[in-house]
Amino acid sequence: MASETRTTKGRGRLYESIVETVGDTPTIRINNLSVPGVTIYVKAEFFNPASSVKDRLALNIIEAAERSGALKPGQTVVEATSGNTGIGLAMVCAQKGYPLVVTMADSFSIERRKLMRMLGAKVVLTPRAQKGLGMYNKAVELAEANGWFLARQFETSANADIHEATTAREIINDFAGSRLDYVVTGYGTGGTVTGLSRVLRRERPETRIILSEPANAQLLGSGQAQERSAEGTPTASHPAFTPHPIQGWTPDFIPLVLQEAVDGGGYDELIPVAGPDGMEWARRLAQKEGILTGISGGSTFAVAQQVAERAAPGSVILCMLPDTGERYMTTPLFEAIQADMDAEELALSMSTPGYQLPPA
């Protein structure tokens, strides 16, 4: 228990817009769920202004396109997304004055659609049976038909570049002079692991990079190559893909951004994780650490726990938490969390005479 009242000092600066607050997310020690003798930290990307790691990518896609002239003032931006990139783009486009159209399979959580629409975006749903490639192709189709700017999160160099320039540098600075044995992450576009590996391989070569993917959709684990066009865009769903519950992870193709890490040895080990395990660890993080993360964060933490169980005493592990649990209210992550009082809560209500709701 803290012996003195906590005080704060502010950030020591004034911000010109919301986009200036992207990045510099905190690294937080795990205290109640750690394996004895091993220290686990999490990088809490939900501290970004739109609550996910994809805020970094969204901002850099737009600003890189502004610098190159590929994006014209007032031009409509279009992108395929499972949600987080779309939410990040909606935030950035709202601030900078670009109309945004998002294509998204109708299998993703309803709150993601509402968040994007709340931020001013238009959301075009595609059939879930057509998977990620279907929403991707719809975005391409709309861009070509209307002359819109296609964000291309799965192929653009702006993706891994921002993680090299910000996420990796934050990790290097946070662990300066300290041990860091493992970094654990999953992949959606592949930008995080690719950007991190560029820096960690050079400046912290002793740090092992652990990559994860869904146990029932092991695209990398299958060893099968992705069919691509000459430009690197996917031309077919990967044969190892099956639908999985880890939203934001592993579309039905291997993104070109990720291919750099695959071909260049950007990770040391690939560990699959089952979706239900990820959900269970997300709930444990919430209930034992007060850390609210989504299914992808819980899945990454599940893998970090596996690594911790076999790691040498004294090892230090950093686990990436991509987003917030509030993005999953209508998914199985919250299925067992009831809105009405349970028996114990009802008994507490009845234990004193006043302020009681009538029985349901």
Active site residues: 54, 296
> Nearest to residue 170, comparing CAs of 23, 60, 22?
23
Alpha carbons 90 and 101: distance in angstroms, whole number: 9
Long-range contacts of 116-125 (CB under 8 A, 24+ apart): 116/83, 116/86, 116/87, 116/90, 119/50, 119/87, 119/90, 119/91, 119/93, 119/94, 120/90, 120/93, 120/94, 121/86, 121/89, 121/90, 121/93, 123/86
Cβ atoms of residues 49 and 21 within 8 Å: yes
Q: Token pair of 326, please?
A: 């509030």
Tokens of 234: 């996917």
Cβ atoms 349, 341 nearer than 8 A: yes
Q: What is the rounded CA–CA span in Å between residue 326 and residue 112? A: 10
Strand 27-29 versus strand 39-44 pairing type: antiparallel
- What's the CA gap between 222 and 238, in Å, rounded? 10
Token pair recorded at residue 44: 């809490």
**Phi, psi (degrees; rounded to nearest 5) at 60:** -70, -35
> Are the beta carbons of 180 and 257 closer than 8 angstroms?
no
Greatest CA separation found in the chain? Answer: 73
DSSP character string of 65-84? HHHHTSS-TTPPEEEE-SSH
Q: Which residues contact 161 (CB under 8 A, 6 or more apart)?
A: 60, 64, 195
